[in-house]
Amino acid sequence: MHFVFHWNADSDPHEEAGKELEACFKDYESIAVMPRLHVIHVTGHGHQEGIQQRLHATSERLAELNITYLITPLIVGGQYQGRLFDGDLATKVNKLTFEPFA
| Element (DSSP H or E) covering residue 34 | strand 30-34
Model pLDDT for residues 5-34, shown as the tens digit of each residue: 999 998 776 788 999 999 999 999 999 999
Contact 37, 71 (CB under 8 A): no
Predicted confidence at residue 93, as pLDDT, reads 86
Extents of the domains making up the chain: 2-97
Q: Which architecture characterizes domain 2-97 according to CATH?
A: 2-Layer Sandwich (3.30)
Largest separation between any pair of C-alpha atoms in the chain? 46
Give the pLDDT of residue 13: 66
